[in-house]
A and B are shown apart, each in its own frame.
Chain A
Amino acid sequence: MNWLLNNYESIPFYLFTHLRLSILPIAIGFVLALPLGWLAWRFQVTRGLLLTLVGLLYTIPSLALFALLPPLLGLPYLSEANVEIALTIYAVALMARSAADAFGSVDPGVRQSAVAMGYGTWRRIWEVELPLAGPVLLAGLRVVAVSTVALVTVGVLVGVQSLGFYFTDGSQRQIPFEVFTGVVLTMLLALAIDGLLVLLGRALMPWARPSKRRPMNRWIRALGTGKVAEAVR
Chain B
Amino acid sequence: MDLIGATLAWIAGFVGSGELWQRLGEHLTYTFGSVLIALVIAVPIGYLIGHTGKGRELAVGITGAARALPSFGLMLLLVSLVGVVQRPIAAYAAFVILAVPSILAGAYSGIQAIDKTTVDAARAIGMTEWQILWKVEAPLGLRLLVGGIRSATLQVVATVTLAAYINLGGLGYPLLQAIPLRRDEQAFGAAIIVIVLALLLDAAFGLIGVLLDRLIPTGAAPRRPRRPRAVPTRRARMVEAPTAS
Contacts and interface: CB of A to CB of B under 8 A. Distances in A.
Q: Do chains A and B touch in the complex (CB under 8 A)?
A: yes
Give the dominant DSSP class at A's interface.
helix
Contacts of A183: 69-70, 73-74, 77
A151 interface: yes
A127 B228 CA distance: 25
Interface residues of B, number: 52
Contact of A167 (B72, B157, B179, B182): B72
B26 interface: no
A157 B188 contact: no
A139 B162 contact: no
B198 A60 contact: yes
A67 B234 contact: no
Contacts of B77: 167, 176, 179-180, 183
Nearest to B199: A59
B141 interface: no
Interface stretch (A115-123, A186-194, A200-208, A222-230): A186-194
Contacts of A191: 68
B53 to A, nearest CB: 21
Give the dominant DSSP class at B's interface.
helix
Contacts of A131: none
Interface residues of A, number: 57
B202 interface: yes
B134 interface: no
Interface in A122-167: 136, 139, 143, 146-151, 153-154, 157-159, 163-164, 166-167
7 contacts: A61-B161, A64-B195, A150-B68, A167-B72, A167-B76, A171-B80, A171-B165
Given A61-B198, A150-B67, A182-B70, 7 more contacts: A58-B242, A63-B191, A67-B190, A157-B162, A158-B179, A170-B80, A187-B68
Interface of B: 3, 65, 67-74, 76-77, 79-81, 154, 157-158, 161-162, 165-166, 172, 175-176, 178-179, 182, 184, 187-188, 190-192, 194-195, 198-199, 202, 228-232, 234, 237, 240-245
